[in-house]
Structure 1
Amino acid sequence: MTVQSHIQVNRLSVHYGVGGNLFGKGGVLKAVDDISLEIPRGSFFGLVGESGSGKTTLGRAILKAAPISEGEVYYKDEDVDYDVGKLSKSELKDYRKRTQLIFQDPYAALSPRMTVRDIIAEPLEVMKLTKNRAETDERVREIAAKCRLNLEHLRRFPHAFSGGQRQRISIARALVCQPKFLVADESVAALDVSIQADILNLLKSLQKEMDITFLFISHDLSVVAHTCDVVAVMYLGAIVEMAPSRELFTAPKHPYTKALLSAIPSLDPDDRGKAQKLEGEIPSPLNKPSGCRFHTRCPMAAARCSVDAPVWREHSPSHFTACHFAE
């Protein structure tokens, strides 16, 4: 039996020092604060939350594109077992081949001065994964076809394409080195709804065809419901609930998750106006509330919530949450 490749995160924190200014003293911005999770091989793992909750920073820390302040990230595959925070230069080069990122904005992610062929080929050339130009062109044509790009597209520049086509170019560039783990950071947020569905279906088909593990970052729960096997809900640098997708959407436990789900637009006139409003703004990561970090906006908050931090508990198989009143 082969070892299942996956990402294991143990008590990971990413902190940034912030200097003072005319309006106050500096401090420590805790973008990611003591997170633990495991992403099994071949899964489509969803990470959701409001803007500023730390989703992108967590994804980049796993890829070693953001500094790890505390904790560990382990990458396990059939032939390697890496402690990401302690990679040597040679190990980091190999890790870059195995893990890739799809950026959020398909308009800003592509160089306007390079043809599509050169954009997709760049990872192969930088990592020296092919022996000559002919082999590089063959790999480029192969991955372009899988991403529904034809030979004529390879000769053009990015400005000649729509948003959906540009995102397929970004996906092809990320997949050309045949990675095993892929972080899709809000990869459909800038696209029209009809194009979103097309890109999501493409990602799902590529996942099965190429045996890829996905970390899919989004703030859109309706998109996550369509694609993900397991979903983690993030708030102010921490995960507050995690469960299989179907169970999270049918039986959410945390008040924050319930508020996010209630905000999904519905075509049913009877459901309109029933969204649970969250009062106030998300607190600053520089000055997080004591106790439960959600208590300043929670409709169920009690006195103990401002003092005692809730314990991470398993309520049913694979369904975890951090809330005093999850039952």
Structure 2
Amino acid sequence: MAVVDNDWGIGSLHAHDKKEPTHAIAVTPGIRAIAIKSGVLVVLSNFYGLLKECPYAFLEEFCRYCNIQPVPAGSTSEDYMLKAIPFVLKGDAGIWLSRLPESSIRTWAEFRMIFLDRFFPTSKTSSLKREITEARQEYDEPLGQYWDRFQGLLQACPNHKIGEREVYSTFYSGLTVDSKNDLNLAAQGDFSKTPFSQTKRILERLIEAKRSYETSRGQYRRGAVHAVEARSDEKLEARFEQMERKLLEAVEKTRVPPPQEEHHYYYCEFPPEAEALNQVNTVGHWNPEGHWVQEKQRDTPWRDHPNFRWNYQSPRQPPQPSTQQKKTSEGQPNWPVRNQEIPNTGGNRG
């Protein structure tokens, strides 16, 4: 891409290096005759177009310094400001100026209008104006301090377009009840209905009289308020602890014991070895003399009872005595056979 030498947009980007105004500012004989010294550029404040910067404050300081600079014959202070303004606009503000159409600025009034329209739009003016109309005095804020803060809001928005009479009316509506009573007492009546010619004088006289003792009284009030707040916090904390303690007690009283699980035989655990041994030792029997013997009865007469033995006979194979039965029969005496069928003494009723 070829670079065109006579492109005004590219040439305006290097206007600061040549110490010449950008192409957006129309060059007049009065501007051409002015020479900006390097020492002046060092003293002048720069403007970058940031949100925290105030365009009105910048222009006010810039104009105040340029108005005291000497100018040659045939030139004016406005010519000097138009020649110097491109060197103090940096960052976004410098880029904005370089992108303006060629010779679109001919007077300082035109530059001021488009500059404020770009860096102080109507939306910002409306927001600051809303802060002015909604300003309120704090409960422990001295009257003089509130007046200074209110004036700062007015200065932050120079184009608020609020009349002087309306300014005092808005200020009075934002006062606390005590401050309104003081103003009414100083005005010997309703301050809002006082003639405007006396309003400013009454307010300044009251502020001057209250500045001497409002600082110490305000500190005393703030200390008292903080002490009351501390005591209130302690009472609230104690009350919360008491409520928590009562809540825990109520929960303990209403707590239902857990239901007992149903006992199942397959959940039974085997007792410890010592307990099992004690249970085994408790096994015994009554001897013929009527004494309890703590041992297992070996020769029991009911051992051969037909109801206490397995008497199933296989039809195919003859029953064979087991080894365990042989060992048991060897150690038993010859008891009479008791598995014979009992005769039916009832007779045949068929």
TM over 0.5: no
Q: Which has the higher strand share?
A: 1
Q: TM-score range by the shorter chain?
A: under 0.3
Give the TM-score normalised by the residue count of structure 2. Answer: 0.23
Bigger helix fraction:
2
Greater relative CO (CA pairs within 8 A, separation 6+): 1
Which structure has the greater CA radius of gyration? 2
